[in-house]
Amino acid sequence: MEELNSLMQGFAVALTGQNLLLMIIGILLGVLIGVLPGLGGANGVAILLPLTFSMSPTSAIIMLSCIYWGALFGGAITSILFNIPGEPWSVATTFDGYPMAQQGRAGEALTAAFTSSFVGALAATIMITFLAPLVAKFALKFGPPEFFAVQLLTFCSFIGMSKGHVAKTIASMTLGFSLAAVGLDTVSGQLRMTFGTTELLRGFDFLIAVIGLFGIGEILLSMEEGLAFKGVRAKIDTRIVWQTWKKLPAYWFTSVRAILIGCWMGITPGGATPASFMSYGVAKRISKHPEKFGKGQIEGVIAPETAAHAAGTSALLPMLTLGIPGSPTAAVLLGGLLIWGLQPGPLLFVEHKDFVWGLIASIYLGNIAGLLIVLTTVPWWAAILRIPFSIIAPVIIVICAIGAYTVHNAMLDVVLMMVFGVIGYIFKKLHYPLAPMVLALVLGDMAEASFRQSMLLSQGNMSIFFSNYLVGSIVTLALVLLLWPAPKAINDWNVRRRLRKAPPDEVITE
């Protein structure tokens, strides 16, 4: 078992005193970020990224990925105790988590949520451990056409699997691509869309977009309600934890289903949020008592939490092996790798073995540490949420401004952050999905580069994308995913034409 050997070496890397300390700091920061409105996995990691420039890449990624796990755990706390999802992927957790808390079962709900998160993450990590080296080995054979095909697959599956308005998904994505194209074109050396300004030479950094879209946008959204947090007090003691743990094995089938949904949605860039909704929906549909859902059913907590964590974790698989992130947070981590001088992709597994396996080992350790930390520190986090929003909001805005500035030491970025904040706010209110825009901003240059390299290879002949079985089948799969919803959409359209006054669909997207 080559993987197990590598993994053991990874544990040796991750288990140094300094890295363990960074892991715990990362988890604590992550839970804090997850609990606070306006700060989430993606922008939290983006803001803290500059602080890690002086660390070794392995230590830095361990800390940053632990922030991500912490944020995944933290989202559940606000959902269950305050009925306010701290993160978009914990929206589905509020459906049954908050009713449970109202019935005085907050401890049980929290234990179930944390444990399911842990199980989901663990399953996804095991999958990464064994699948990632295979994918990486396979991807070593990839040339530019194959990489473009995989990137195409990413974006097609976004469009095909989007629950919302297809045109809005496409608009959001192409806006991201357009912004990515701004600046110096590396192939021809021409300036694109700079319109004579020197500031735009650098183009738009997606880290700034992430901080604005998810940070400022979220604050504006929360502010709309003139937020007053009203929470349920929670007590977790070992007795409640044991009792809940004894109950959980009975729901193993729900967990397995949630893990499968989560891993699939994480590898294909569906992301944690749709995974949690899908898992909740499936659990409800299959359950013998669907009417009990929404009234404090423990399965209603297990299903979305397991799936969200499994998806959040498996999003790292395509990021590490192909250089294609499966979620906005994975995209930010990918940005970090590039800044530290590591090129994500199959070669990473060959050239930087220590780094990759140190990271994978840290996922195991980080999630164990995370579970223990959140189980023991819940009351603190709940206390933080009792701080009035008019204190938290300006502090978060200050943190976002500093985070945006430090990315390039540029004031223009702080202004852009505010602009992205307004865009994020309006897009969220109009149900434009934000994830495609962020991923397009990250992958835009890469996708264009691999497309143009392919064209150089084939001298402008598009048939290169069907030139062998590998690239041909990926492109075909991409097109199938793209057109997946078409038959249903046509059917829906016909139905809607007949029922002119049908109520508009509730659209839930990240």
Partner 1 sequence: MEEPNDSSSQRGDSGTYISTHIVEVITALILLCLAALVIYDAVRVGNGWESDGPQAGFYPFYVGLLLGFASLAILVQQFMHRGEDDPVFLAPGQTYHVMAVLLPSCAYVGAIYLLGIYVSSALFLFLFMRWQGKFGLMKTLPISIAVPLIVFLLFDKWFKIALPKGPLEAWLGL
223 binds partner 1 (CB under 8 A): yes
499 binds partner 1 (CB under 8 A): no
Stretch of residues binding partner 1 (CB under 8 A), selected from 123-131, 233-241, 348-356, 400-408: 400-408
Stretch of residues binding partner 1 (CB under 8 A), selected from 73-81, 117-125, 177-185, 369-377: 177-185
Q: In the bound complex, what is the minimum distance in angstroms from residue 258's beta carbon to partner 1?
A: 32
Residue from 138, 229, 264, 405 that binds partner 1 (CB under 8 A)? 405
Q: In the bound complex, what is the minimum distance in angstroms from residue 153's beta carbon to partner 1?
A: 17
398 binds partner 1 (CB under 8 A): yes
Q: What are the CA-CA distances from residue 96 to residues 115, 116, 262 (Å)?
A: 16, 14, 19
Backbone angles phi, psi at 123, to 5 degrees: -60, -45
Residue from 429, 473, 492, 505 that binds partner 1 (CB under 8 A)? 429
Backbone angles phi, psi at 165, to 5 degrees: -80, 120
Residue from 196, 391, 488, 499 that binds partner 1 (CB under 8 A)? 391
Q: In the bound complex, what is the minimum distance in angstroms from residue 185's beta carbon to partner 1?
A: 4
Quick one: which of 494, 501, 471 has its CA closest to 144? 471
Contacts of 230 (CB under 8 A, 6+ apart): 82
Stretch of residues binding partner 1 (CB under 8 A), selected from 251-259, 261-269, 281-289, 401-409: 401-409
Q: Which residues pair with 183 in a beta bridge?
A: 192
Q: Are 173 and 159 in contact (CB under 8 A)?
A: yes
Quick one: which of 297, 305, 401, 311 has its CA closest to 43? 401
Q: State the amino acid at position 89 in one-letter form.
A: W
C-alpha to C-alpha distance for 365 and 371, rounded to whole angstroms:
10
Residue from 196, 226, 249, 341 that binds partner 1 (CB under 8 A)? 226
Q: What is the DSSP string of 59-79?
A: HHHHHHHHHHHHHHHHHHHHH
422 binds partner 1 (CB under 8 A): yes
Task: Give the contact letters, 446-465, x = binds to partner 1 (CB under 8 A), - = no.
Answer: --x--xx--xx--xx-----
C-alpha to C-alpha distance for 112 and 97, rounded to whole angstroms:
9
Within residues 53-72, the interface with partner 1 by CB under 8 A covers 54
Q: Are 352 and 136 in contact (CB under 8 A)?
A: no
Check residue 204 and give left, alpha or beta (phi > 0: left; psi -120 to 50: alpha): beta
What six digits make up the tokens of 52? 């890690």
Residue from 76, 100, 219, 375 that binds partner 1 (CB under 8 A)? 219
178 binds partner 1 (CB under 8 A): yes
Which lies closer to partner 1 via its Cβ, residue 9 or residue 56?
56
Contacts of 438 (CB under 8 A, 6+ apart): 42, 176, 206, 209, 210, 213, 328, 331
Within residues 12-51, the interface with partner 1 by CB under 8 A covers 50-51
C-alpha to C-alpha distance for 238 and 244, rounded to whole angstroms:
10
Q: In the bound complex, what is the minimum distance in angstroms from residue 207's beta carbon to partner 1?
A: 15
Q: What is the DSSP letter of 385?
A: T
What six digits make up the tokens of 385? 């949420």
Stretch of residues binding partner 1 (CB under 8 A), selected from 95-103, 117-125, 161-169, 351-359: 161-169
168 binds partner 1 (CB under 8 A): yes
C-alpha to C-alpha distance for 97 and 91, rounded to whole angstroms:
10
167 binds partner 1 (CB under 8 A): yes
490 binds partner 1 (CB under 8 A): no
Which positions touch partner 1 (CB under 8 A)? 50-51, 54, 165, 167-168, 170-171, 174-175, 177-178, 181, 185, 187-188, 190-193, 195, 216, 219-220, 223-226, 388, 390-391, 393-395, 397-398, 401-402, 405-406, 409, 411, 414-415, 418, 421-422, 425-427, 429-430, 432, 448, 451-452, 455-456, 459-460, 501, 503-504
